[in-house]
Every structure is written in C-alpha cells, then in structure tokens.
Amino acid sequence: MKPRPTADPDSIRSVVSELRNVNSVLVITGAGLSADSGLPTYRGIGGLYDDESTEEGMSIEKALSGSTFQTTPEITWKHLGQIEHSCREAQFNRGHQVLALMEQHFERFWILTQNIDGFHTAAGSKNVIEIHGNLYQLACTACDFKTAVDDYANLAIPPLCHACGCMLRPQVVLFDEQLPEPALNTLYMEMRNSFEAVITIGTSSYFPYIVQPVRMAQQTGRFTVEINPDQTPVSKLVDEKLSAPAAATLDEIWRQMNHS
C-alpha cells in the first residue's frame, strides 16, 4: 500500500506559530475532510465518479441537478440514495473533533462547509454554515412538512410526504440551484467582520464563494492555509500549502498548539 503523504514539519510549525497570534479564524471544508471518515469524494482522490458517467449516461453533476430533479426526480433520488448509503455508519473523524475544539479555543471561529453529511455539528461545532445544506433534513416539495432522519435505510426512494403524499427532497443544494439565502446571509455578515486567518481543508475550491474568502484574506494580508493533497485554484494564493490528508494534519496542528 502506498504510504499517505504527511505535511511538511516546517509548514506545520509555521501554521501553529501564526494561529497562536490570531483571535478569529474561518475554516472552509470540503469532501476531503470527510474522506478521512471513509466517505468517497465525488471526484479527486478516491472519487465516486472519476472519469465515469452514471448508469444513465449523464455526468453526476447532471444527475444531481435541479433540472433533472424537476423532470426525472427518480434519477436524482437514486444517486442521492447511493451517496447516503456510502455515508451510512460512517462517523465524524479526528479532523472534525479538532475543529470543534478550535471553536472553543478561539475568540471567534466559523466553519463554512460544502459537506452535506452533518459531521461538523455531530462532532460538536456550533458555528457552522452548511452552504450546500444537509442530506438528512427532508422537506416536502408541495407543503410545509419537514422532518429529519438518521439515514435512508427505511425510506422508500423516492420518499413521499406523510402529510400530503407528494415527494420529499433533502434540503441540499442541487447543481444549478441557488444557494440558501440564510446561509449566504450568515456568511456575508461574518465576512464583513473579517477574519485574521482563513484555512481551507479538503475542497477543490471550484466555486467562487469558496475561493472568495481566501482571496480576500490574501489581498488584505491575513494568514491563509490550504490542507489538501491535490493542487487547487487557491494553492498558489495561500501562505502555507499542506499537501497531506486533513484529519492527521489537523491533529498535529492542534497537538503542537497545545504543547508549550
């Protein structure tokens, strides 16, 4: 088995030194963080759909799009079900735990996550912006019925509303849909107050609203870090690039932060 990469020790020490001198931190997380819990990413290292179309002959982005949900919701629900099944019985990892501990340590600490698995809140984080929603929060497409489930094991796919019989959908942002306004408002409000450090973890940094906080921090001289084995659009923008898996790297950063 190929050994997993580890972060450069000098870069770790630099990150720890900087974090000891800041009071406010924004952390941006993507699928690479939950990959350490055994969850596959859509693409990238260990991706579910690397170089492949779905069984329907369309890209995963098309299958998980709002337009496909409108016309053939059974296709979207099928792939949502597959994603949920890959998450089932997985749990938050040490990286999620470290971020929850960091929230208690820093004066102001927020997580902006693309992940829909709910692991941040399960690990104890309170200040979490789930910009793409949550896979386990379901809402009716026709009435006001909402519910939360632990998993999809006992759900018919697609599931129907207990109140009106119409189709339910998870409260997640599908491709080509708008981001949730409450989450955006929280993000913009916190961004107006600025952060002394921005750390991006395990995200491909494809979307502008993920790149923007890093770019703004870089332009204003704030400290920026990327933890990701892959190269991304922000890799050349950050002060420190840690090319290693998320959980082990966060654990080492936290260990050194608490080592006198």
- Per the CB < 8 A criterion, the answer to whether 258 and 16 are in contact is no
Query: In the structure, what pLDDT confidence band is assigned to residue 1 with cuts at 50, 70 and 90?
Result: very low
Does the annotation count 259 as an active-site position?
no
- Percentage of the chain lying above the pLDDT 90 cut: 79
pLDDT: which is higher, 43 or 70: 70
How high is the pLDDT of residue 86? Answer: 79
Judge whether residue 44 has pLDDT over 50. Answer: no
Residues shown for the chain: 260
Greatest CA separation for the chain: 60
Structural domains in the chain plus CATH codes: 9-38+92-132+178-257 (3.40.50.1220), 40-89+136-172 (3.30.1600.10)
- Percentage of the chain lying above the pLDDT 70 cut: 93
Judge whether residue 46 has pLDDT over 50. Answer: no
- Per the CB < 8 A criterion, the answer to whether 202 and 246 are in contact is yes
Mean pLDDT of 122-147: 96
Mean pLDDT of 186-215: 94
Choosing from 79, 96, 120, 132, the catalytic residue is 132
pTM for the full model?
A: 0.90
Summarised one tens digit per residue, pLDDT across range 71-103 is 999 999 999 998 888 788 789 999 999 999 999
Q: What's the rounded Cα separation, in Å, for the pair 250 and 260?
A: 17
How high is the pLDDT of residue 2? Answer: 53
Q: What's the rounded Cα separation, in Å, for the pair 248 and 93?
A: 10
Q: Which residues are CB-neighbours of 70 under 8 A, at least 6 positions away?
A: none
Query: In the structure, what pLDDT confidence band is assigned to residue 3 with cuts at 50, 70 and 90?
Result: low
Query: In the structure, what pLDDT confidence band is assigned to residue 52 with cuts at 50, 70 and 90?
Result: low
Interior angle at CA 165, CA 164 and CA 166, nearest 5? 95
3-state secondary structure of 170: strand
Please, where are the H alpha helices in 88-240?
94-105, 119-122, 181-192, 208-219
Would you say the C-alpha torsion 14, 16, 126, 42 has a positive or negative sign? positive
Choose the weakest-confidence range: 85-89, 137-141, 187-191.
85-89
Taking each helix axis from N to C terminus, what angle separates 9-19 and 246-257, rounded to the nearest 10 degrees?
Answer: 60
Q: Residue 110 corresponds to which amino acid?
A: W
